């Protein structure tokens, strides 16, 4: 299914929401030069077309007891569709997991996680990842700081 081309107004709406997903419809409409009703109609269309997939909350994980964040690279020994799908589904629902990326290249997955301390990290890696028979290799890297971009990427 091909998506319709986005016009300058659609892209301006997306850029505004990308910078601040809490921006009011009235403010977006003013910014892009539309009536609020027309702007809302465009936003709903972008949502129904899955151009806007969701709005997410950016949480300070330390406030929840997540004193460390890590990126965990995982390499599987079995790359069959059922193995990959099961691995993704079972890890994505774990409370420590912030995001999970299926990758090309040397590693198969990159997992972003938030954990309470190094003991929690060790137990998570051992129990949730290396204990799985399909896991061949794991590397863990601590995250010192994370900054999310606020400018809509141009592709």
pLDDT in tens, 25-36: 999 999 999 999
The CATH number corresponding to 8-48 among 1.10.3720.10, 3.30.360.10, 3.20.20.70, 1.10.10.10 equals 1.10.10.10
Q: What is the per-residue pLDDT across 109-147, written as a single tens digit (0 to 9) for each?
A: 999 999 999 999 999 999 999 999 999 999 999 999 988
Sole residue written with tokens 């204990």: 131
Q: What is the three-class DSSP state of 65? A: coil
Q: Where are the domains of the chain?
A: 8-48, 61-143
Does 8-48 match 61-143 in CATH topology? no
Q: What angle do CA 147, 149, 151 make, to 5 degrees?
A: 160
Task: Look at the domain 61-143 and name its fold.
Answer: Alpha-Beta Plaits (3.30.70)
| Res. 68: pLDDT tops 90 | yes
In angstroms, rounded to a whole number, what is the distance separating the alpha carbons of residues 28 and 21?
10
Question: Mind listing the pLDDT tens digit for each residue in 9-25?
Answer: 999 999 999 999 999 99
Structural tokens at position 14: 């997306």
Question: What is the rounded radius of gyration, in angstroms, for the C-alpha atoms of the chain?
Answer: 20
pLDDT at residue 2 greater than cutoff 80: no
Is 1's pLDDT higher than 70? Answer: no
Pairing status of strand 109-115 against strand 97-102: antiparallel
């Amino acid at each position: 299914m091909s998506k319709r081309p986005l016009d300058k107004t659609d892209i301006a709406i997306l850029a505004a929401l990308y910078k601040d997903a809490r921006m009011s419809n009235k403010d977006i409409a003013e910014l892009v030069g539309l009536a609020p009703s027309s702007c809302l109609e465009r936003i709903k269309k972008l949502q129904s077309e899955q151009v806007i997939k969701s709005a997410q909350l950016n949480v300070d994980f330390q406030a929840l007891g997540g004193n460390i964040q890590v990126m965990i690279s995982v390499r599987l020994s079995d790359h069959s569709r059922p193995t990959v799908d099961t691995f993704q589904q079972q890890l994505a629902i774990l409370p420590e997991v912030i995001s999970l990326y299926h990758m090309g290249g040397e590693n198969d997955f990159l997992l972003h996680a938030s954990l309470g301390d190094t003991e929690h990290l060790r137990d998570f890696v051992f129990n949730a990842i290396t204990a799985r028979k399909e896991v061949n290799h794991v590397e863990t890297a601590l995250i010192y700081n994370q900054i999310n971009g606020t400018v809509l990427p141009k592709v």
